[in-house]
Amino acid sequence: MTEALLCGLDVDQVLAYLQGQKDSELRKTLPNVEMRLGRSLTEVPIVIKTKGHVAYLIGTADEIIRDFPSELWKYRNKYNFGISKSRFDQYFKNYMRRRAAIIYFEEVKMIYPPLEKFPKYQTWGYLTLPPTIKTYEMSNERIKKKLIDLTNKIKQSITP
């Protein structure tokens, strides 16, 4: 059984990955994977879940950059954050004097069927990947369409 890290994102960020508009994750904090799993963050699969307690993206961090948010924004031309400067500033509001991180994924794959029934929405968590997990390249348009449709349904169900 493979232990993985669980990363919670909002629906728009999951859509950005599916639509090729995002390849990096901005985080205020990083989990202590070394202490919990005995491996570095770049050695552990990261499963991305969204609201609705559904996960269908997986990748491994290829690069991690830690710095102050004002410095991280300078990497926007190298990495695709999938957000605007105003959303970046809002996310890091009241956090500018602490170190944050960019997690860069060279490749994110799709999980289908999606993994379900996770605990309440959280930033970081851990899970054991089922041995039957099936992953697909982002170039698989049939699976991508199914996951985009699912993400849009989740978005509609949580939008007031």
pLDDT at 119: 67
The predicted pLDDT at position 14 comes to: 94
CATH topology of domain 2-158: 2.30.130
What's the pLDDT at 111?
96
DSSP state of 135: E
Element (H, E) at 124: strand 124-129
Averaged in consecutive runs of 10 residues, what is the pLDDT profile of the chain (160 residues)? Answer: 89 94 94 92 93 88 95 95 94 91 96 84 82 95 96 87
d(CA 42, CA 63) in angstroms, rounded, equals: 7
What is the per-residue pLDDT for 50? 86
In sequence order, the 6+-apart residues with CB closer than 8 A to the CB of 52 are: 154, 157, 158
Contacts of 135 (CB under 8 A, 6+ apart): 58, 109, 110, 111
**pLDDT for 110:** 97
- 3-state per-residue secondary structure call for 18-84: HCCCCCEEEECCCCCHHHHHCCCHHHCEEEEEECCCEEEEEEECCEEEEECHHHHHHHHHCCCCCCC
Whole-number Å distance between alpha carbons of 79 and 92? 18
Segments making up each domain of the chain, as ranges: 2-158
pLDDT at residue 122, rounded to an integer: 66
What is residue 121's predicted lDDT score, i.e. its pLDDT?
A: 56
Query: For 154, which DSSP code?
Result: H
